[in-house]
Amino acid sequence: MVNAERVKQKIPSLLVDGDTSKRENNNAFFRNRYRLRKFIDQNPQRFNSLFNQLTFILNEIEEELKKTTNKL
Model confidence pLDDT, tens digit, residues 1-58:
889 999 999 999 999 999 888 888 999 999 999 999 999 999 999 999 999 999 999 9
Q: What pLDDT, on the 0 to 100 scale, is given for residue 64?
A: 94
- Tell me how far apart the alpha carbons of residues 21 and 12 are, in angstroms, rounded to a whole number: 13
Could you count the other beta carbons within 10 Å of the beta carbon of residue 41? 9
- Whole-number pLDDT of residue 30: 94
Mean pLDDT confidence for 60-71: 89
pLDDT of residue 72 exceeding 70, the answer is no
φ, ψ at 4 (rounded to 5°): -65, -40
pTM for the full model? 0.82
d(CA 23, CA 55): 30
